[in-house]
Amino acid sequence: MIDPVSIAAVTAAVTVLATKFVEGVLAEAGKSLWKRVAPVLGLAESPKPEDLPDMPEKVAQALVERPDALAEVQRILAENPAATGVNITINAKNVGAGYVAGNQYNKND
């Protein structure tokens, strides 16, 4: 059975990661992490601004179509969360992702 909360959380995290990659605010470790996550989901190695509007749909679709991809991306993100600056929040009322820029946490709902 597909866990919709996990799919939502990973979709949010990957979308934030792609957005920060495009904005150029990721450190080298974050860029490297994107380059590990992208092929698992069939995404471009270097996302472009025009890729961002469809990113959540593409990520969620890949995760639904390939349940093994969900576990793999979760593993990759969990291995080095500091590299991405992407934090995943999951609770009964909220699924969201945020990013760390400098020392400031920015939440994206």
Judge whether 45 and 38 are in contact, CB under 8 Å. Answer: yes
State pTM to two decimals: 0.75
Sheet with 86-90, strands from edge to edge, namely 86-90, 95-101, 104-108
pLDDT interval class at 60 (50, 70, 90):
very high
Q: How many domains does the chain have?
A: 1
Return the closest-CA partner of residue 18 out of 27, 28, 29, 31: 31
Is 90 exceeded by the pLDDT of residue 53? yes
**Which residues are within 8 A (CB) of 102 and not within 5 positions of it... i.e. 6 or more apart?**
none
Is 70 exceeded by the pLDDT of residue 109? no
**Containing domain of residue 13, as a range?**
4-108
pLDDT interval class at 96 (50, 70, 90):
very low
Distance CA(108)–CA(67), nearest Å, equals 25
Give tens-digit pLDDT for 11-34. Answer: 998 999 999 999 998 888 888 889
CA distances from 34 to 3, 15, 24, 52, 94 (A): 23, 10, 12, 14, 24
49's enclosing H/E stretch is: none
Is 80 exceeded by the pLDDT of residue 92? no
pLDDT interval class at 67 (50, 70, 90):
confident
